[in-house]
Amino acid sequence: MNNKVNYTQVVWEITRLLQEAESLEEALRISLGMVVKSVGAEAGTIWFYNKEGDGRIHPSFWIGGADLTGLSLSAGEGIAGAVVEEGKTTVVKDCQKDARWADRFDKKTGFVTKSMICVPLINKYEVIGCIQIINKKDGSLYDDADVELAENLAMLTAIAVDANGLNLGFAEEKQIVLSLRDITKTFGKDETKVQVLRGVNLDIREGEFLVILGESGCGKSTLLNIIGGMDRPTSGSVIFEGKDYANASEEALTAFRRNAVGFIFQAYNLMPTLTAEENLDFIGELSDNSMTAEEALESVGLLEKRKNYPAQMSGGQQQRVSIARALVKRPRLILADEPTAALDYETSIEVLTVLEEVIKAGTTLLMVTHNEEIAKMANRVIRMQGGVVAEVTMNNHPASAKELVW
């Protein structure tokens, strides 16, 4: 196969994509993905230099590998920093052996960076960032055609950003609530053995609304159950407040599940013989920090239904009670597994509007869904594929629930 010919086609497609894009962010993410795939690399990142702001270089789009959310480089730091300062394309065979390499990134994310093409993003006047293509899978060094493709992407990106402006809203380094490192999960034995998760790395950050997208059966619920301490990974770690819960005792895991996490499920899981209020009290052992059942029901707009039994409420109302139940202990993290999958469109919007308020109040929410439209509400979207985090996108302009259509 002639790479050159192939690459011309890729450049042509990227040009069209960036010109016709409704969302430049989306188009850049797809373009980066095309280049990573064409070169046969493992990962890729587009960095922007926030020169007028904090003077640091921030990752804005990345494909595969590490979770870079909230991390940034000072100008001149690492290979990206050097490329941004010097404005010159750099090809590195093994980053680990390069004097410029800023290894605090790999240390934080668990990813191992080996080979890299790093190309500056240059507009008419100055360097505005850079693009990295990371770890050529076959182990060979990038050839001239690979470098040229990365340079073409950089040129087209710089032109598109210049023409359309990119409102990036550089993320601050927010505190990490929970970290997953190299999570794998295998079900069954011998012939029936299936490996569902193949090394998931992810940091969940304070106050974010994170959506995990992926096709049915790709392991979203499995991952959520591991995060929430309802299941254990086959290998890897789940780190919360400095402690690894992957191999913690049953007691420690139960305490974590009870106090640190709130759950919202597709099938509301309310007790039919208890009123809305009793369903909240039922979870018991409320601490000093907890809300009262009234406060929690008020926060989902259902105080007046507190004496109703689940059967006396609509599906949307029942799901709102289950949101209140997740909130009552003020957990550090709320996990929602397809919370609107059983609801019609109007009711879904009702429930999402309540969740929107919950996020505004500062709750950290992780939602798993196969509904791409809901992802528009998120601050950050993770796409799962093949048992790993395949893509991460920062969304700097989250939509409101009322804007969603499906």
Chain positions contacting Mg ion, by CB under 5 A? 221
Assign 3-class secondary structure to 206-249: CCCEEEEECCCCCCHHHHHHHHCCCCCCCEEEEEECCEECCCCC
Candidate ranges 56-64, 164-172, 212-220, 235-243; the one touching ligand ADP (CB under 6 A): 212-220
Position 138, amino acid = D
Total residues contacting ligand ADP by CB under 6 A comes to 11
Please, are residues 58 and 166 in contact by the beta-carbon 8 Å criterion?
no
- CA dist 90 and 14 (Å) reads 22
Which C-beta is closer to ligand ADP: that of 198 or that of 257? Answer: 198
Closest separation in Å from C-beta 177 to ligand ADP: 22
Coil/strand/helix, residue 289: coil
| Residue 289 touching ligand ADP (CB under 6 A) | no
Considering only 2, 167, 216, 287, the residue that binds ligand ADP (CB under 6 A) is: 216
Kindly state whether residue 267 participates in binding ligand ADP, applying the rule CB under 6 A.
no
Q: Which of 21, 122, 155, 196 binds ligand ADP (CB under 6 A)?
A: 196
Q: Tell me the C-alpha distance between 275 and 281, whole Å.
A: 10
What x/- string results for residues 130 through 169 when contact with ligand ADP is judged by CB under 6 A?
A: ----------------------------------------
386 binds ligand ADP (CB under 6 A): no
- The C-alpha atoms of residue 270 and residue 363 are separated, in whole angstroms, by 22
Contact 60, 68 (CB under 8 A): no
Phi/psi-derived region of residue 46, left when phi > 0, alpha when psi is between -120 and 50, beta in every other case: beta
Q: Are 83 and 120 in contact (CB under 8 A)?
A: yes
Min separation Cβ 200 and ligand ADP, Å:
12
189 binds ligand ADP (CB under 6 A): no
Q: Which residue is nearest to Mg ion (CB)?
A: 221
Q: In the complex with ligand ADP, which residue's Cβ is closer, 21 or 230?
A: 230
Q: Which residues of 41-50 are buried (b: 16+ CB within 10 A; e: fewer)?
A: bbbbbbbbbb
Answer yes or no whether residue 218 interacts with ligand ADP by CB under 6 A: yes
Q: Are 297 and 306 in contact (CB under 8 A)?
A: yes
- Binding partner of residue 214 among ligand ADP, Mg ion, none, CB under 5 to 8 Å per kind? ligand ADP
Segment contacting ligand ADP (CB under 6 A): 76-84, 122-130, 211-219, 349-357? 211-219
Q: Which residues of this protein are in contact with ligand ADP, per CB under 6 A?
A: 187-188, 196, 214, 216-222
